[in-house]
Amino acid sequence: MKTHLTPVKDIDRKWYVVDAEDVILGRLASEIATRLRGKHKPVYSTFMDAGDFVVVLNADKIRLSGRKWDNKMYYRHTGHMGGLKEETAAKLRDRKPEELVYQAVKGMLPKNPLGRKQLKKLKVYAGSEHPHEAQQPETLKF
């Protein structure tokens, strides 16, 4: 018996809206990564992009458990000698709240061209407004 592979052009892609208010970051990111990869669909395959689009709202009202607001560090490098910058989760939330969700989901996707393509289907907004009403997104509850 042969295995049936659905062509990429025939995969039905949906849009989902997630309200991140008072949701723990890691639990939210793992569910979003599953949706972006398409693991919830019967046509899932590791080498194909079968995932859906996800719009995250209220990223500035996300929760972290324990003392992670003060102890969790985010690092980036400027590219110059001694250019390692570090920042706590609380400071990153104040400066750029969308980056918390973006980095958490990015860490749960494959580190290859397919993972980068899947990450482009993630749209994160700090407020409760988004410009994707034309796609008629469904609400995703956690």
Q: What is the pLDDT of residues 30-64, one digit of tens each?
A: 999 999 999 999 999 999 999 999 999 999 999 99
Percentage of the chain beyond pLDDT 70 is 100
Per-residue tokens: 24: 């723990």
Q: Which residues contact 64 (CB under 8 A, 6 or more apart)?
A: 24, 25, 72, 89
Angle made by CA atoms 38, 41, 42, in degrees to the nearest 5: 130
Tell me the pTM. 0.92
Q: What pLDDT does residue 107 have?
A: 97
If one counts the domains in the chain, the total is: 1
- The CATH code of the domain that includes 130 is 3.90.1180.10
Helix or strand (DSSP H, E) at 124: strand 122-124
Has residue 50 been placed in a domain? yes
Has residue 28 been placed in a domain? yes
- Is 93 a residue whose pLDDT tops 80? yes
Has residue 52 been placed in a domain? yes
Mean per-residue pLDDT for 84-93?
A: 97
Mean pLDDT for the chain?
Answer: 95
Has residue 7 been placed in a domain? no
- Is 125 a residue whose pLDDT tops 90? yes
The domain of 17 spans: 13-140
Tell me the pairing of strands 122-124 and 53-57: parallel
Q: What pLDDT does residue 85 have?
A: 97
Has residue 5 been placed in a domain? no
Has residue 2 been placed in a domain? no
